[in-house]
Amino acid sequence: MKPSLNIALSVLAGFVVGSIVNMGIISVGPYVIPLPDGADFSTMKGSRESMNLFGPVNFITPFLAHALGALAGAFVAAKLAASHRVKVALGVGVLFLFGGIYMIITVGGPFWFKAADLLLAYLPMGYLGAVLAGATKSESE
């Protein structure tokens, strides 16, 4: 397989796996940490309006979804890539970062959550995914 095709497919697979992990956590989250009374997350407008009802505990699920989705996606991408494995994993982290920026713009949230989410959930987890996949070791090992 051509290296560029391998890299593209690795990033795509990582993005798909990470998205599944993200959505799985978002779907299960309200059963673990119930949403506040009156919160409506069935639409973007309802989500945006429900943010002011959230307490700090309600931000655990979205943060974990973002961080673990990026981590799983980066791990898969780094495992599948034949070369440039750290860059591939970080590429998945960047894709998730773009999604996080979009969500912050459309849904919002308190400043502390936005800062923690953007600074800790995407690129650091992308790099950790590469480390866990063994991508930081020499390619010849």
| pLDDT tens, residue by residue, 79-122 | 999 999 999 999 999 999 999 999 999 998 999 999 999 999 99
Q: What CA–CA distance (Å, rounded) separates 19 from 35?
A: 22
Six token digits for residue 16? 């798909």
Residue 35 DSSP one-character state: P
Q: Would the pLDDT of 141 be above 50?
A: no
CA 110 to each of CA 30, 39, 83, 107: distance values in angstroms, whole numbers, following the listed order: 19, 16, 39, 10
pLDDT number for residue 89: 97
Q: What is the pLDDT of residue 138?
A: 61
Collapsed DSSP state (helix, strand, coil) of residue 38:
coil
Total residues found in the chain within this entry: 141
